[in-house]
Amino acid sequence: MAQDADHTYEAIIIGGGQAGLATAYYLLRAGVNTLVLDDQDTPGGGWLHVWPSLKLFSTAEFSNLPGWPMPAYGGFPPAAHVVDYLTAYEQRYRIPVERPVTVDRVDHDGERFHVQAGHRSWTARNVIAATGTWSAPFAPTYPGTFNGTHWHSANYPGIETFRGQRVAVVGGANSGAQIAAELTTVAEVTWYTREQPRWMPDDVDGRVLFRRNRERALAIQRGEPDPGADSDLGDIVVLPEVREARDSGRLQATPTFSSLDEVEADHLIWCTGFRPAIRPIRRLLKNGRPQHPGLHVVGYGDWTGPGSATITGVGPSAKQAAREVAASVGKTVK
């Protein structure tokens, strides 16, 4: 990839997952001199870190990045299928990704951004943060002590580790329901949720959510009122394995404890979500908004656009960021 002698780019994207690749796709098409820096050894982003049995909640034809659809798969694809897709996508569009490079900090000198990773540094007119969330798992704080083993859905290794043991699973959204459901086949599970689980209708899967998110994203971009969040539909997509565990009575919710002292289990798995992994750019944000015109955030969910944390949903916000970056260097994203 062509670059100036002093490592100056028109755009540097931090993060080589789906959000970074989708943004790079649009930038490269517009002829923007772009570099992607990613801290993983291989392509795949957060999909390299999900639990072994995880499957998408929608079929391949509803899991497309801009330009090139996900290759067909019978049924709901596993994470490995997404990793293969991202690997091929990166090669197909010759997206210049340097790995592994962990960006430590980004500074702005009033004109340009300085991106630092250990002893290495780059300069850029624009920086796009697309660092995802998997490396910033969130767990709430409770009083008391739990003496068993703490886990998070971010490092949940699959059912075998828990066979024959007592497991507390905390969290009333998709990861909590899916992990608790599969564990009920091998372990004594207590599934803690703050409220009664809010199941989506059985016929709602990713397709409905993606369509809804796209309508929301486009309406917001047009300056129209937000037509409403997915949460109106419920919190949990009723995948076949989850439905079976729920309908057979194996999967039942218990109101969340008020102190960890109440939890009688060998393992406690927090399925309580993630936060944006924005440590390198945090100083450049004010009230969650970039302070400099050349700084963009892509792929973090509602913060950066409805559905933008999904494969199909990242397209509109990636395109919007790419448009602004391209315009800043006199180029056009079509």
CB of 210 to ligand FAD, least distance (A): 7
CB of 17 to ligand FAD, least distance (A): 2
Q: Please give the backbone phi and psi of residue 226, each rounded to the nearest 5 degrees, phi first.
A: -65, 120
CB of 310 to ligand FAD, least distance (A): 3
CB of 9 to ligand FAD, least distance (A): 15
CB of 127 to ligand FAD, least distance (A): 11
- Structure-block tokens of residue 280: 């390198």
User: What is the spatial distance between Cα 269 and Cα 118, in angstroms, rounded to a whole number?
Assistant: 33
First to last CA, the chain: 22
> Contact, 60 vs 32, CB < 8 A?
no
**Residue 46 vs 197, nearer CB to ligand FAD:** 46
> Contact, 320 vs 298, CB < 8 A?
no
**Residue 58 vs 320, nearer CB to ligand FAD:** 58
- DSSP label of 130: -
CB of 170 to ligand FAD, least distance (A): 15
**Residue 11 vs 257, nearer CB to ligand FAD:** 11
Q: Report, in angstroms and rounded to the nearest whole number, the Rg of the chain calculated over CA atoms.
A: 21
**Residue 172 vs 299, nearer CB to ligand FAD:** 299
**Residue 37 vs 238, nearer CB to ligand FAD:** 37
DSSP string, 42-90: SS-GGGGGS-TT-B-SS-GGG---SSSPPPP-SSSPBHHHHHHHHHHHH
User: What is the spatial distance between Cα 75 and Cα 95, in angstroms, rounded to a whole number?
Assistant: 29
Residues 6+ apart with CB under 8 A from 97: 16, 20, 36, 37, 38, 43, 90
CB of 242 to ligand FAD, least distance (A): 13
**Residue 102 vs 188, nearer CB to ligand FAD:** 102
CB of 154 to ligand FAD, least distance (A): 8
CB of 91 to ligand FAD, least distance (A): 16
Chain contacts with ligand FAD (rule: CB under 6 A): 14-20, 37-40, 45-47, 50, 54, 56-58, 63, 101-103, 130-132, 134-135, 175, 206, 277, 280, 299, 309-312
Three-class secondary structure of residue 240 per DSSP: helix
> Contact, 28 vs 115, CB < 8 A?
no
Please, what's the b/e burial string for 56-93 (b: 16 or more CB within 10 A of its CB; e: otherwise)? bbbbbebbebbeeebeebeebbbbebbbbbbeebbeeb
**Residue 272 vs 312, nearer CB to ligand FAD:** 312
**Residue 17 vs 305, nearer CB to ligand FAD:** 17
- Structure-block tokens of residue 71: 């290759």
**Residue 11 vs 19, nearer CB to ligand FAD:** 19
- Structure-block tokens of residue 284: 């450049």
